[in-house]
Every structure is written in structure tokens, then in C-alpha cells.
């Protein structure tokens, strides 16, 4: 029973009313499956769409309003579609290091760390969060890839290691600058909620319910991820949503928030065709593993670390009001040098932004480029990411 992560969302094509068929994913199995909070979302006015095989709320009062509320107050997201796994057994630490480019020897009890699941050529199969528990490791993986991830782990982990899919747990994310103020009065534990800094977790009671709470998220804001028994999800969601700082938030705003935060979305900004260095995720390759290797695709990844990648994921500030969407070509003059992987209108900046992969010689900050959007060239400039500064509650911060 536990969680910890950043959840995935959908690429929004508009910030107002969005046709439901734009959110249908043809690659997911027939269904859709229902989340533990399905009735709760509908009662709150959630507009439900199919995503990653589940019926999920894309918006309640509107994507723009929900986005800005989260940036200024606290937004409650249901991310129970994510895969929550508990991995334990003899030799589990060494076994996980054989399949992930992570250094678990430096991960403390309750510590959370970002990592990557790579194939034998260094291609990204998924990104995930790893938390050390007392007798094993808690992983949260993307909902759209969780079954493939479980199969991959079963194939590559030894028989002595057990994989438990925590499919009777729900996962909520509370994100925004007022999250601590909203959540602290509701929890009890051996330590106060304020003792948690970014990427740390602990067990608490939340409204009398056992909960694992970690300080992390996928919006760039301060936030908490909350894993609870699915049977208690509605009661806990009601308790949190009753706080004056909190409103329910849908998938649409989660996507625009993570785009502003410069956070990649699996299946778009990272795929098996991409390796971690070009994706800007080299921080997920821990220092010891960069020299020792011993993880899938290590040769290619270490080569990219030493020599630099042939292309890089960059942020683009676009002139005008028209947004560039995934698949649009990035040009120098008339020459294609890259491709947009995520794009949309930034409610916080009130302008269109995008992420793209651009050939390394053209990837420096300040480089001016063009984006071809249905035959129209949009002027764009490479800018640092995140587009909106992160406001994580880091250890030692005021």
C-alpha cells in the first residue's frame, strides 16, 4: 500500500473545451477501467475521457482555471492509474542495480530517487521513482507502460526477488504552494509533515487511514504524493478537498503544468528511440554507475556522457499566440534540424512554449529557429528549462 511519484498526463491541444476523442489512446486495451475515485470525479463534475486504459477526469471547471489554481493554491490529482510496485527478496538491491542505472547504496530509508528503465541499447523504456522501504523498494511507474514494465522486471530480476503489484492502492497527488498548509492539519505520524523535504517520504495516518506520503510531484510545485488503500480513497479525497486551499484538478492542467516545469512525458519526450543523455536525463545516471556501468545500455549511455549526444532536448519560447504541437519540424532556414515533442500554451507565461529534440550544433540557448506549423513558420528561441521556476521544498530551505 504505497506511492510516490510524478504522474503522466496527456498533451493538451487547447486550454478550453477539448473534444473527448482527442484524449482517446488507441494503443490501450478495451475498457476503460475505472479508478477507485470514478464516482467521486463524476460527482465533482469531472469530464471523463479514456487515457492509458482508464476513465479519467481531463477537467472539472476548465484547464486554464485549474492550472492557475494549482500554481497559486493547491490542486488535488488522482493518479491511481500509475503502477505501484513493491520489490523485495534476497539480493534485491544488487538485482535492481542490474536493471536500473541507480546507486542504491546512497539512498536512505524513506529516500526517493528518479531512475530509468533502459533496454539493451540504452533506449528509455520508462522513467520511474524508487523509494527505499525497510525491507525492499517501492517503485512507481507510468500507467500506460506498467504492464510492460512488470513483464520486463519479471524477465530480468532473479527468482529470489519478488514483485508485488500494489493494485489495491490508490495514489493521489496534492500540488501547489499551499499544500503543506492544507495537508498538515489532517495527518498524524512519528514526525510532523513539515519534516519531509523534497524526495523524502514516511508513513502517516491521514484521517485515520494508513498512508505513505512523499514530498514529490510532476508540476514543478511543492507537493505530496499520497498512497492509500483504494477502499479509503473517496473518504480521504473528501477530507483533502474540503480544505479551502484545495480544488480537484484534471489531466489537462497536469499536462500544461508539467510542460511549464520542463518535465518530459513518456511516449512523447522520451521513448525507446531516445537515450537518457540526449533526453536531458543524465542526472538519473548516478555517479558510481557512470564509471562502473553494469546496467542495460551502459556502453551507449557512457559514450554519450563522454562525447556528447548528437541531439538534445531543448525548450522553445515561441513568438506570437499560435502553439506548436508534437511532430512539428524545427528548422534552420529551410533545413529541418529537429522535431517538437510537446507543445502548448503556457497559462502562467501567457505565451506558447514547446519542447523539442534539436541537432546538437543548433541546441545552444539563445539560438533562433523556426517551427513549421501546417506550412506556417513560427519564430522560436531556445530558452532554459524549466520555463517556470521549480518551487520544490528542498532540505534546508526556508
pLDDT, one tens digit per residue, over 125-158 is 999 999 999 999 999 999 999 999 999 999 999 9
Question: Is there a single domain that holds both residue 45 and residue 192?
Answer: yes
List Cβ neighbours of 186 (8 Å cut-off, separation of 6 or more). Answer: 206, 207, 239, 240, 243
pLDDT, one tens digit per residue, over 257-287 is 999 999 999 999 999 999 999 999 999 999 9
- Quote the pLDDT of residue 5: 29
- Quote the pLDDT of residue 127: 98
Contact yes or no for 395/198 (Cβ under 8 A): yes
Q: List the domain range (segments joined by +) for residue 387.
A: 310-398
Percentage of the chain modeled with pLDDT above 90: 91
- Closest to 393 measured CA to CA, from 241, 175, 235: 175
Question: Is there a single domain that holds both residue 188 and residue 71?
Answer: yes
Bridge-partner residues for 24, per DSSP?
Answer: none
With respect to residue 360, please indicate whether it lies within any of the assigned structural domains: yes
Q: Give the residue-averaged pLDDT of 2-21.
A: 33
List Cβ neighbours of 341 (8 Å cut-off, separation of 6 or more). Answer: 264, 268, 269, 313, 326, 355, 356, 357
User: Cα–Cα distance between 101 and 87 in angstroms, integer?
Assistant: 16
Confidence of residue 14 (pLDDT cuts 50, 70, 90): very low
List Cβ neighbours of 170 (8 Å cut-off, separation of 6 or more). Answer: 35, 36, 37, 78, 80, 227, 228, 229, 230, 232, 233
With respect to residue 132, please indicate whether it lies within any of the assigned structural domains: no
With respect to residue 146, please indicate whether it lies within any of the assigned structural domains: no
User: Cα–Cα distance between 183 and 171 in angstroms, integer?
Assistant: 15
Contact yes or no for 167/157 (Cβ under 8 A): no
φ, ψ of residue 277 in degrees (nearest 5): -70, -45
User: Cα–Cα distance between 230 and 81 in angstroms, integer?
Assistant: 12
pLDDT, one tens digit per residue, over 160-196 is 999 999 999 999 999 999 999 999 999 999 999 999 9
With respect to residue 227, please indicate whether it lies within any of the assigned structural domains: yes
Question: Is there a single domain that holds both residue 66 and residue 177?
Answer: yes
- Quote the pLDDT of residue 17: 34
- Residue 321's domain is classified under what CATH number? 2.40.30.110
What does pTM read for this prediction? 0.92
With respect to residue 315, please indicate whether it lies within any of the assigned structural domains: yes
Question: Is there a single domain that holds both residue 360 and residue 232?
Answer: no
Question: Is residue 340 exposed (0-12), middle (13-18) or buried (19+ Cβ within 10 Å)?
Answer: buried
Question: Is there a single domain that holds both residue 213 and residue 316?
Answer: no
Question: Is there a single domain that holds both residue 392 and residue 253?
Answer: no
Question: Is there a single domain that holds both residue 66 and residue 173?
Answer: yes
- Residue 64's domain is classified under what CATH number? 3.30.1360.120
Question: Is there a single domain that holds both residue 387 and residue 317?
Answer: yes
Question: Is there a single domain that holds both residue 236 and residue 347?
Answer: no
Total number of domains in the chain: 2
With respect to residue 238, please indicate whether it lies within any of the assigned structural domains: yes
pLDDT, one tens digit per residue, over 284-332 is 999 999 999 999 999 999 999 999 999 999 999 999 999 999 999 999 9
| pLDDT value at 61 more than 90 | yes
Question: Is there a single domain that holds both residue 213 and residue 321?
Answer: no
pLDDT, one tens digit per residue, over 87-130 is 999 999 999 999 999 999 999 999 999 999 999 999 999 999 99
Question: Is there a single domain that holds both residue 314 and residue 374?
Answer: yes
- Quote the pLDDT of residue 398: 54
- Quote the pLDDT of residue 152: 98
Residue with more model confidence, 86 or 28: 86
With respect to residue 366, please indicate whether it lies within any of the assigned structural domains: yes
With respect to residue 153, please indicate whether it lies within any of the assigned structural domains: no
Amino acid at each position: 500500500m504505497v506511492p510516490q511519484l510524478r504522474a503522466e498526463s496527456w498533451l493538451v491541444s487547447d486550454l478550453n473545451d477539448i473534444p473527448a476523442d482527442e484524449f482517446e489512446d488507441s494503443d490501450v486495451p478495451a475498457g476503460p477501467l475505472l479508478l477507485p475515485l470514478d464516482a467521486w470525479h463524476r460527482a465533482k463534475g469531472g469530464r471523463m475521457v479514456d487515457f492509458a486504459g482508464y476513465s479519467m477526469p481531463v477537467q472539472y471547471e476548465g484547464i486554464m482555471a485549474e492550472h492557475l489554481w494549482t500554481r497559486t493554491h493547491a490542486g488535488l490529482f488522482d493518479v491511481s492509474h500509475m503502477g505501484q510496485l513493491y520489490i523485495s527478496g534476497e539480493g534485491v538491491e544488487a538485482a535492481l542495480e542490474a536493471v536500473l542505472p541507480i546507486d542504491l547504496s546512497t539512498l536512505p530509508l524513506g529516500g526517493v530517487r528518479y531512475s530509468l528503465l533502459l533496454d539493451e541499447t540504452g533506449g528509455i523504456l520508462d522513467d520511474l521513482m524508487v523509494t527505499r522501504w525497510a525491507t525492499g523498494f517501492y517503485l512507481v511507474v507510468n500507467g500506460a507502460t506498467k504492464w510492460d514494465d512488470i513483464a520486463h522486471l519479471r524477465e530480468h530480476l532473479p527468482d529470489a526477488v519478488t514483485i508485488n503489484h500494489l493494485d489495491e492502492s490508490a495514489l493521489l497527488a496534492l500540488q501547489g504552494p499551499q499544500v503543506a498548509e492544507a495537508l498538515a492539519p489532517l495527518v498524524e505520524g512519528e514526525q510532523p509533515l513539515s519534516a519531509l523535504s523534497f524526495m523524502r517520504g514516511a508513513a502517516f495516518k491521514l484521517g485515520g487511514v494508513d498512508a505513505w506520503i512523499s514530498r514529490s510531484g510532476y508540476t514543478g510545485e511543492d507537493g505530496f504524493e499520497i498512497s492509500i488503500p483504494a477502499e479509503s480513497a473517496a473518504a480521504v479525497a473528501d477530507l483533502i478537498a474540503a480544505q479551502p486551499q484545495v480544488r480537484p484538478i484534471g489531466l489537462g492542467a497536469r499536462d500544461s503544468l508539467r510542460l511549464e516545469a520542463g518535465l518530459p512525458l513518456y511516449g512523447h519526450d522520451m521513448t525507446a528511440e531516445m537515450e537518457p543523455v540526449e533526453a536531458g536525463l543524465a542526472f538519473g545516471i548516478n555517479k558510481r554507475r557512470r564509471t562502473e556501468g553494469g546496467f542495460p545500455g551502459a556502453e551507449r549511455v557512457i559514450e554519450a556522457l563522454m562525447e556528447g549526444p548528437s541531439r538534445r532536448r531543448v525548450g522553445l519560447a515561441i513568438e506570437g499566440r499560435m502553439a506548436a504541437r508534437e511532430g512539428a519540424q524545427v528548422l534552420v532556414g529551410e533545413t529541418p534540424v529537429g522535431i517538437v515533442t510537446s507543445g502548448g500554451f503556457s497559462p502562467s507565461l501567457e505565451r506558447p512554449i514547446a519542447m523539442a529534440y534539436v541537432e546538437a550544433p543548433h541546441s545552444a540557448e539563445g539560438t533562433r529557429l523556426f517551427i513549421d506549423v501546417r506550412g506556417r513558420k513560427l519564430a522560436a528561441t531556445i530558452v532554459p528549462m524549466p520555463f517556470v521556476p521549480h518551487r520544490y521544498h528542498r532540505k534546508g530551505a526556508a
